[in-house]
Amino acid sequence: MRDPRVVCRARVEMEKPEFDHICSVVEAATAHGKLTLLARLRSYWDDADYQATEIVQLRTELVELRQVPALPSGVVELLGKLSRLCDLAIHERKSIEVRAD
């Protein structure tokens, strides 16, 4: 049954090397107090939830992460898709659930 608080159940494919690349950048940024919401994605195998009140900040972090010059184009494209999901969540005032499978 669909949770009415969730915008949609979308499948966004990400390979472990892409995830690890993102995590290394996020880890470095969190040492300086940045990208704290993205830091919830600590493990490729763990889930993360973002409440509707956090989505604007999450989108800001995704946009900031996309500006890192060393990111492969596939990762930048993926971050763009996630930013657009945030736009939808903001518009609908919904939360986002990240599920590993």
Instruction: Write the pLDDT tens digit of every residue in 14-36.
Output: 888 888 888 999 999 999 999 99
Within a domain: 9: no
Within a domain: 7: no
Alpha-carbon radius of gyration of the chain? 13
Within a domain: 65: yes
Q: What's the pLDDT tens digit per position in 57-83?
A: 999 999 999 999 988 898 998 899 899
Q: Which domain holds residue 80?
A: 16-98
CA distance 72 to 66: 10
Within a domain: 66: yes
Within a domain: 3: no
Reference 78, options 10, 7, 2, 5; nearest CA is 10
Within a domain: 81: yes
Q: pTM for the whole thing?
A: 0.84
Within a domain: 6: no
- The predicted structure's pLDDT at residue 98: 83
Within a domain: 48: yes
Tell me the sheet residues that pair with 21. none
Whether the CA torsion 54, 57, 60, 66 is positive or negative: it is negative
Domain count, the chain: 1
Cα end-to-end distance, the chain, whole Å: 18
